[in-house]
Amino acid sequence: MDIDAYRDLDPPARVLLGPGPSNVHPRVLRAMSMPSIGHLDPGFLKVMDESMDLLRALFKSANTMTFPVSGTGSAGMEAAIVNFVEPGDRVIVGCNGLFGERMIDVAQRCGAEVVPVSAEWGRVIEPEAVQTALRSQARTKLVCLVHAETSTGAWQPLEEIGRLTREHEALFLVDAVTSLAGCDVQVDNWGIDICYSGTQKCLSCPPGLAPITVGERAMRALEARKTKVQSWYLDLSLVRQYWSAGRFYHHTAPVNMIYAFREALRLIHEEGLEKRFARHQLHGDALHAGLEALGLALHAQDGHRLPVLTAVRIPEGVEDLKVRQALLNEFGIEIGGGLGPLRGKVWRIGLMGHSSTRANLVQLLTALEAVLPRFGFKLERGAGTAAALAVLDG
C-alpha cells in the first residue's frame, strides 16, 4: 500500500441546499472536536442531561423519555415503530410519499396489519380520511403520519388528527425528521405520543443521531407488550435505563456526536424558537416567489407547502442531472433530485437550519437564472431574485 496516496482530507466547500444534510454551524463542528471522554464519565452524564432538557423544549414536551437515538433518522423511525407494534396489531399509516411507504414497510416487518390511508404524492392526508379509517378499523393501536414529507415538500397538519386518534384510543406517531427546528412541532399540545427526527436537517448537526420523544401512554403500551421488541439495540425499555438516573450500560454512546447535538440545540434556543420558525417561513416564501417568477411550478399542494423543503417541477425538455451537476460544479450548490415516482420530475431544494440564509437563497436563484437557459428554458434574467428580494424586504 502506498500510504502517501492517502492525503489529508480536503472535502470541497459546498452550499448544501438539498433535502439534507444542511450546512453545519462552526460552533457545532468545534464542539464535535472536543476531547472524547467515557460514556459514563460524570462530565458526559451532565452533557446528556443538558441535551435532554434542551430537546424537550424543542419538542415542546414534558416527556421524561426524550433523548437522541444513536443512529440516523431512519433508526429513529425504526425505534418509533418496533417498540410499539406487535404481531397482529392494527396500524394506520398515512402514505403520500416515500417516507410513509417506509413506515408501512417497517410496520409490516413487525407483523402488523397495516391500513394505508393514501393520497397523491404532494398532497396531504385529510383528517376525514383518517377518521374514516379509524371508524372502520376497530382496535387500531397506532396512527402514523409524516409531518414534513421530504420526498414531496408537503406540510401535513397534525392537530386535528391527534385529537381523532385520542378519541379512538390509539397512539399517534409522527415523523418530524425534516420539520423539527424549522417548523413548529408541539408534541404535547397536538396529542402526539411518539415523535422522532434526525440531526442533519433543520438542526444543522451532522447526521448520526435521531431525537425521539415518547409520552406516558406510549410507555404504558411498551410495558404491556406480550412479546419482546424485535430489535435489541433499539429496545427503548433497555435504552431508557442508560438515559435515566440509573445510567445502566446499554451501548457506548457516540460521545462527540452528542457534544455536537448539545451545541446545535443551544444555537437553536439562543435564536429563539419563534424567531427561527419565522426565519424559515420567510426564506421559504421568498424561494417560492422566486421560483414561480422564473416560470417554474411548485409541486406540493397549495396551502400545504413546506418552507424548509421545496419540490419544484422540472420543466419539460430540461435534463434533471445536468442542471444539478452544473449547479454543483460551477457554483458549489447542491440540490436534490426526485425519489420514487417523482424521480426525474422534480428538484428538491432545502433551506434548513444554518443553510436557510438570505445569501444562499439569492445565490441559488442567481445560479438557476444562469444555468436553465442553456437547456432551452426561457426566463427573464433577474426576475427570480427580484421576486425573492421583494418578499425578503417586505
Number of domains in the chain: 2
Average pLDDT of the chain is 97
CB burial of residue 302 (10 Å; 0-12, 13-18, 19+): exposed
Domain span at residue 298? Answer: 272-392
160, part of any domain: yes
Residue 4 is predicted with a pLDDT of: 87
Q: Confirm whether 17 is domain-assigned.
A: no
Write the pLDDT tens digit of every residue in 63-87. 999 999 999 999 999 999 999 999 9
Q: State pLDDT tens for residues 133-184.
A: 999 988 999 999 999 999 999 999 999 999 999 999 999 999 999 999 999 9
* Rg of the chain, C-alpha, whole Å: 22
Centroid of chain to Cα 145: 13
Confidence grade of residue 358 (pLDDT, cut at 50, 70, 90): very high
Q: End of a domain among 228, 246, 269?
A: 269
With respect to residue 34, please indicate whether it lies within any of the assigned structural domains: yes
Residue 346 has pLDDT above 90, yes or no: yes
Q: What is the pLDDT of residue 344?
A: 97
pLDDT of residue 101: 98
Residue 115: per-residue pLDDT = 98
What mean pLDDT is predicted for residues 338-346? Answer: 98
| Same domain for 233 and 359 | no
Q: What is the pLDDT of residue 343?
A: 98
Q: What CATH number is associated with residue 368? A: 3.90.1150.10
Note whether residue 226 is domain-resident. Answer: yes
Indicate the pLDDT class of residue 22, thresholds 50, 70 and 90. very high
Do residues 371 and 302 both lie within one domain? yes
Q: Last residue of some domain: 210, 242, 269?
A: 269
| Residue 79 belongs to some domain of the structure | yes
Residue 329 pLDDT more than 90? Answer: yes
Which pTM was predicted? 0.97
Cα–Cα dist 301/306, whole Å: 10
Confidence of residue 189 (pLDDT cuts 50, 70, 90): very high
pLDDT tens readout for residues 248-272: 999 999 999 999 999 999 999 999 9
Tell me the CB-side half-sphere exposure of residue 225, using CA atoms within 13 A.
Answer: 18
Question: How far separated are the first and last CA of the chain, in Å rounded?
Answer: 60
Element (H, E) at 209: strand 209-214
Spatial distance between the Cα atoms of 375 and 35, rounded to a whole number of angstroms: 50
- For residues 234 and 355, state if they share a domain: no
Which amino acid is present at 363?
Answer: Q
C-alpha cell of 8? 489529508
Task: Tell me the per-residue pLDDT of 210-228, one tens digit each, with 9 for 90 and over.
Answer: 999 999 999 999 999 999 9
| 223 in the same domain as 103 | yes
Are 247 and 103 in the same domain? yes
pLDDT at 227: 96
Number of helices and strands (H, E) in the chain? Answer: 13, 14
Please give the share of the chain, as a percent, with pLDDT higher than 70: 100
CATH at residue 113: 3.40.640.10
Q: Looking at the structure, do residues 69 and 207 belong to the same domain, yes or no? A: yes
4 falls within a domain = no
Nearest to 137 by CA among 106, 173, 93: 93
Could you give the CA distance from residue 68 to residue 237 in angstroms, rounded to a whole number? Answer: 15
Interhelix angle 383-392/273-293, rounded to 10 degrees, is 150
- 159 and 279 fall within a common domain: no
Query: Which of 70-79, 123-132, 238-247 has the weakest average pLDDT?
Result: 238-247
Quick one: what percent of the chain has pLDDT higher than 90? 97
Does any domain span residue 1? no
| 7 within some domain | no
Check residue 109 and give its pLDDT: 97
Q: Is the pLDDT of residue 1 over 90?
A: no
| Residue recorded with cell 482530507 | 9
Which among 15, 59, 29, 71 has a CA at the least distance from the CA of 269?
A: 59
